[in-house]
């Protein structure tokens, strides 16, 4: 069974702080995605990374794919209350399915 471990599981910070969420596996991904899910809604895709070492930026969010394509990180600069939600990573292993991580629940307080 392929596993995607995310850390931390919970994160509670004040507005303006920086944070990093990690996604790790012992397997190599062909691609990796990050989703954000708000309460009562389905996940929404934020980004897809494909190449080892790739860095993508989405406003204050920076996504990095590990050189060996086994891990990824999401860094948020100057967090805002609107960043609150559940962050999920999901990896593709050259099949027609995604494996989702366990999730990181982020709470940003004003």
Return the number of other C-beta atoms located less than 10 Å from residue 83's C-beta. Answer: 18
Return the number of other C-beta atoms located less than 10 Å from residue 61's C-beta. Answer: 18
Distances (CA, A) of 80 to 14, 40, 51, 95, 104: 8, 20, 29, 36, 16
Encoded one letter per residue, x for contact with other proteins by CB under 8 A and - for no contact, window 38-67 reads --xxxxxx--x-x-----------------
With CB under 8 A as the contact rule, which of the stretches 14-22, 52-60, 62-70, 88-96 interacts with other proteins? 88-96
Q: Which is nearer to other proteins, 51 or 81 (CB)?
A: 51
Cβ(36)–Cβ(87) under 8 Å?
yes
Give the residue, chosen from 31, 62, 64, 84, that forms a contact with other proteins under the rule CB under 8 A: 31
The residue whose two tokens read 């204050």 is 60
Q: Which is nearer to other proteins, 19 or 98 (CB)?
A: 98
Q: Which residues bind other proteins (CB under 8 A)?
A: 1, 4, 6, 9, 30-31, 33, 40-45, 48, 50, 88, 90, 92, 96-98, 100-103
């Amino acid at each position: 069974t392929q596993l995607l471990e995310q850390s931390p599981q919970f994160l509670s910070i004040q507005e303006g702080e920086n944070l990093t969420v990690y996604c790790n596996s012992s397997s190599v991904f062909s691609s990796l995605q990050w989703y954000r899910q708000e309460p009562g809604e389905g996940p929404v895709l934020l980004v897809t990374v494909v190449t080892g070492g790739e860095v993508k930026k989405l406003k204050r969010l920076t996504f990095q794919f590990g050189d060996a394509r086994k891990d990824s990180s999401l860094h948020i600069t100057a967090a805002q209350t609107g960043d609150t939600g559940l962050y999920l990573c999901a990896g593709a292993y050259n099949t027609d399915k995604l494996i989702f991580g366990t999730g990181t629940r982020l709470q940003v307080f004003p």
